[in-house]
A = this chain, B = another copy of it.
Amino acid sequence: MIFGEKLKAERMKRNWSQEVMAEKLFVSRQSVSKWENGQNYPSIEIIIKISDLFEVTIDELLRSDEELTKKVIRDSKQLAFPKLKFMFDVLIVIGLILLLLKIGVLLLDKFTALDLSLWGGKFIWNFGPLVLMIGGGIGSGVLKEKFKVE
């Protein structure tokens, strides 16, 4: 039984005896022994107390590390997803801003006496925004698709 092992591990991590722990939880020492050896579970109220005492979640106490790892992997994917996607979204926004700048400059050049020139030539300004936006869009879309299976 998973619970007993985890209970024992947490207790020994703190160098407590079963007696000490029993006192903290207001139970007999043998109760603690039984839990650790998998003979029975404590009551719900006591499980909550243990969770507080050790500052671990009840899920961590009751579930296998396998289950928890699966959950952590899933969670970390969801954590990484917004972050990575956000970065690609920023690229899209930058490309859009550059595109709008280019259009703005062209309009001003055409309808006003201002003689504005785009730095770097037409090549960069024609393809730069496009590359950023398409690259960002592809990256963002791929990530979205990858975690849609979830």
The residues of A with any CB-CB pair to B shorter than 8 Å are 3, 41, 43-44, 47-48, 51, 57-59, 62-63, 79, 82-83, 86-87, 90, 94, 105, 116-120
Complex alpha-carbon distance, A89 and B47, angstroms: 41
Copies in the complex: 2
Complex alpha-carbon distance, A6 and B63, angstroms: 21
Complex alpha-carbon distance, A123 and B110, angstroms: 23
Contacts of A57 in B (CB 8 A): 57-59
Q: Contact: B119 with A105, CB < 8 Å?
A: yes
Complex alpha-carbon distance, A87 and B86, angstroms: 9
Complex alpha-carbon distance, A87 and B121, angstroms: 30
Contacts of A83 in B (CB 8 A): 82-83, 86
